[in-house]
Structure 1
């Protein structure tokens, strides 16, 4: 496994993708279809995914497709069809949250690289080893991990280890919060989080007591 750092940027639409590529990202992750955790973003289409991947590969940029929501049983045929489209397009890996969906992909597309989503809440060496045994290539750690915890996980696994350096933190833990689902039937684990924790909620001197600051460890 390469120990060189990879700068990975989100690409929620073609403009963001172009910006990431031009600014020197080594890789991008993006959603296409209905199985990504940012279903409210502009995203991309499976129809044009192959062309998108080709354009990135010409610039030396890897493409990771997000298939990172919990998948219902009745959705499995479409999920596998989307995975087939990802393989045909030549994506470099897919990011998944659902362990059952990952098992299906290992059986149906054994050569497809799997990245364990941050929503799998892997926060220790035991979790990373479990993903390694399941055939994953990379673990995207829980955003709540400390530097010491990240270091210990890296020492304990042969997986590639990815960690966020900037972006929103979840009031609960990414992948474990049900607030949006309970209050508005919009599950974050289905890519539809309404972010109710960002709404005014007074406690003490805070007017937004549930709204965490974005993380920024770029320095």
Structure 2
């Protein structure tokens, strides 16, 4: 029994690591890096960013939606999806005594703190799920008639979404570290650097090909 539970635990953790840190297709960390850096470039350049390249605006909105959907997939109600991180943490709590970390059995307070860390973002989770369920996955009649209303009914702060995603990555990362005292490289930084370089190259190209447009 203990061996089966441990194997189940490690298999689940491995799947989460791929969903978070994979690059083919890009995982949650990669999506976070792209989105967060696009926001940072907007802070740096303001509306001038859209002069550097008008396509950056729809790209940022697409990256935002992609991040929301990927996050929602991991934070489903555990009664609906066994792949939810909440379901994983519930499994860990129920089977704690049959799970082994490098330093022994997972402490109750650590697992409880992980659940609490995610629940502290409940309002953000609710808004992401609302947008996903009523607009992106299934279009309610209300939002068919008034698409922009979804943003008023389910408001989201950009920084709150980033904080939630980092919380998810942190929970899984803690399990990885406690299990083997090792964790995945946070690929968000690599993708963020790529976006920064892209904007810099686009700005250089705009200046060369269309002199005076950015002045």
TM-score w.r.t. the length of structure 2 is: 0.23
Q: Which has the higher contact order (CA 8 A, sep 6+)?
A: 2
Larger radius of gyration: 2
Specify which structure has the higher proportion of strand: 1
Specify which structure has the higher proportion of helix: 2
